[in-house]
Amino acid sequence: MTDHGETTRKGGEIRNFGTQTYKVVGTRPIRHDGTDKVTGRAVYGGDIRLPGMLYGQILRSPHAHARIQRIDTARAEALPGVHAVVTAADLPDTTGGRIDLGEGHADTKYMRDNILAGDKVLYRGHAVAGVAAVSLHVAEEALALIDVDYELLEPVIDVETAMKDSAPLLHEGLTTTELNEDTGRKSNIAMHIRHEMGDVQQAFAGAAHVAEAEIRTATVHQG
């Protein structure tokens, strides 16, 4: 869309959006931080230095799906300059339970496990431990001193495979909720929701043409 009502072409169709003008769309607004950035005066998070400030680093799983057999942080904790080493064992214990988030629900155990992996890692890069130290160098050195033993499990890397009955279970305590009813069936499908408006079958039956397509998209949040 332009600010002078110019026409645009989409899929071979010429469309005119009128003469509506906008304050920002179609203009070149001034970037108020532009001068500071190009002159090097801009201050970023990495530039901030505070008295007693510590640096954090996260140890992440190199595996897509594995059971954590053992985590030994003793060597990292003994390193001079290290103030804290944390794992899932340091988080509040949650036995699970759904909490209302306003626009949906979440399980407290899964929220906890997503912060720091407990018994299993569920994706490559899953956080396993955290370190706080006097410098970035010391924090990185401490990560290398944390020993983790993994039992490798079969990974699930696409949605179609994950939904099969034979797929390895990621969240082993998860049961599928089908149209607001807990089926008690363990699977990788957390919930089946159906939205309907009007008579769908009647609309299909009366349509001149019906097109079917499979569409993949990234996660989108409406807010």
* 82-101 residue pLDDT tens: 999 999 999 988 876 778 77
pLDDT of residue 3: 44
Range of the domain at 164: 159-206
Q: Are residues 138 and 172 in the same domain?
A: no
pLDDT of residue 4: 46
Which residues, in sequence order, are CB contacts of 192 under 8 Å at separation 6+? Answer: 176, 177, 178, 179
Residues in the chain: 223
Q: Are residues 138 and 57 in the same domain?
A: yes
Q: Are residues 147 and 58 in the same domain?
A: yes
pLDDT of residue 18: 64
pLDDT averaged over every residue in the chain = 87
Number of domains in the chain: 2
In a domain, 24, yes or no: no
In a domain, 27, yes or no: no
The CATH number for 128's domain is 3.90.1170.50
Q: Which of 136, 152, 168 is the last residue of a domain?
A: 152
In a domain, 141, yes or no: yes
Cα 157 to Cα 124: distance, rounded to the nearest angstrom: 11
In a domain, 62, yes or no: yes
Cα 142 to Cα 55: distance, rounded to the nearest angstrom: 12
Which of 27-31, 70-74, 129-133, 160-164 has the least mean pLDDT?
27-31
In a domain, 31, yes or no: no
Q: Are residues 126 and 176 in the same domain?
A: no
Q: Are residues 60 and 89 in the same domain?
A: yes
When pLDDT is averaged across residues 53-70 and rounded to a whole number, the result is: 97
In a domain, 30, yes or no: no
* 169-190 residue pLDDT tens: 998 888 898 888 889 999 999 8
Q: Which of 164, 195, 163 is nearest to 179 (CA)?
A: 195
Q: What's the first-to-final CA gap in the chain, in angstroms?
A: 23
pTM: 0.73
